[in-house]
């Protein structure tokens, strides 16, 4: 089973997996696909190794993160990595494949979720898909992009320019309002405000829209701790949109 893996070949993979058997076989499979694989056995070691590799100017291209690990589990390690500014893909790999767990992984900052119970080919395909993702879109999830984003709709429908500008002008204030409402928590106010922000998808701010949907899901389930984390990611996406204000103005002019 030799994968002709263009995206994964020569990529530096950090695998965090506490189970020796799983660690060995995953290392074997990804190495055979042409990747350079390093492995650690818990979330804490993973966070340390990512930082160390960055300092050595040999950063990892992707982290494959088991969810259930001792010392620091995969979700907590992912949150730490994102908080430290790690913007490369993190893929959760686990034997559990419930929707609940998947949502938790994504809310923690993982880009994707792969089940160990799936076939090896599908697992590698999923990881390649993440590696092939548009890097700008991925960056805007976790950090303020260097180049502000001009929504595609402006290129095709310039008449939306005033509405988009107004949306950008108000976005950080709206996110601050969400934070205030969540602190209460004022459910009705939160849902109303989420509704008011739902144009994000139409305007082409898909990352923001996805984060908003994730935030709303946690609200619906009254999972306020997860909602707070989702709101932090939403706030980062809002900052990214806000930075694009000048660029949008320039584009319209």
Partner 1 sequence: MNTTELFTRSTLLEEDPESIQLVLSFVTALDSKISDIETTIKENNITALKQKTHKLKGSAALYGFEQFQKLLQEFECYVMMSQVHLYSEKFKEIKVISENIRSHILGQYAS
Interface residues with partner 1 (CB under 8 A) are 1, 18-19, 21-22, 24-26, 28, 32, 68, 94-96, 116-117, 120
With beta carbons less than 8 A apart as the criterion, state whether 67 and 122 touch: no
Token pair of 105 as six digits: 């992984």
Name the CA dihedral angle for 125, 13, 44, 208, rounded to a multiple of 10 degrees.
Answer: -50
> Nearest approach, Cβ of 15 to partner 1 (angstroms)?
12
For partner 1, give the closer residue by CB, 26 or 37.
26
From residue 190, alpha-carbon distances to 71, 185, 186 in Å are 35, 8, 6
> Nearest approach, Cβ of 39 to partner 1 (angstroms)?
14
Token pair of 156 as six digits: 């095709």
> Nearest approach, Cβ of 41 to partner 1 (angstroms)?
12
Helices 20-32 and 120-132, axial angle in degrees (round to 10)? 70
> Nearest approach, Cβ of 117 to partner 1 (angstroms)?
5
> Nearest approach, Cβ of 188 to partner 1 (angstroms)?
36
For partner 1, give the closer residue by CB, 20 or 192.
20
For partner 1, give the closer residue by CB, 118 or 198.
118
For partner 1, give the closer residue by CB, 24 or 136.
24
For partner 1, give the closer residue by CB, 73 or 214.
73
> Nearest approach, Cβ of 141 to partner 1 (angstroms)?
27
- Give CA–CA dist 131/133, Å, rounded: 6
For partner 1, give the closer residue by CB, 25 or 150.
25
With beta carbons less than 8 A apart as the criterion, state whether 64 and 16 touch: yes
For partner 1, give the closer residue by CB, 19 or 153.
19
Give the dihedral sign, CA 244/248/251/253.
negative
Q: Is 92 helix (H, G, I), strand (E, B) or coil?
A: strand
- Give CA–CA dist 16/165, Å, rounded: 43
- Give CA–CA dist 218/239, Å, rounded: 22
> Nearest approach, Cβ of 16 to partner 1 (angstroms)?
14
């Amino acid at each position: 089973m030799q994968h002709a893996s263009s995206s994964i070949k020569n990529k530096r993979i950090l695998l965090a997996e506490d189970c020796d058997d799983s660690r060995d076989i995953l290392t074997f499979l990804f190495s055979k696909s042409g990747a350079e694989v390093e492995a650690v056995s818990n979330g804490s070691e993973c966070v340390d190794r990512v930082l160390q590799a960055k300092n050595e100017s040999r950063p990892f291209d992707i982290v494959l993160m088991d969810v259930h690990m001792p010392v620091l589990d995969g979700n907590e390690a992912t949150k730490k990595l994102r908080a430290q500014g790690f913007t490369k893909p993190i893929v959760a790999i686990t034997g559990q494949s419930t929707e609940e767990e998947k949502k938790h992984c994504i809310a923690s900052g993982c880009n994707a979720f792969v089940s160990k119970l799936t076939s090896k080919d599908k697992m590698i395909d999923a990881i390649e898909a993440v590696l092939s993702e548009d890097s700008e879109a991925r960056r805007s999830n976790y950090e303020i992009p260097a180049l502000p984003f001009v929504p595609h709709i402006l290129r095709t429908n310039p008449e939306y320019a005033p509405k988009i500008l107004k949306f950008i002008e108000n976005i950080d204030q709206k996110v601050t309002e969400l934070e205030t409402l969540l602190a209460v928590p004022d459910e009705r106010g939160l849902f109303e405000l989420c509704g008011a922000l739902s144009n994000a998808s139409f305007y082409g701010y898909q990352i923001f829209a996805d984060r908003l949907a994730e935030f709303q899901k946690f609200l619906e389930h009254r999972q306020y701790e997860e909602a707070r984390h989702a709101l932090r990611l939403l706030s980062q996406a809002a900052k990214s949109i806000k930075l694009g204000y000048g660029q949008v103005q320039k584009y319209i002019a």
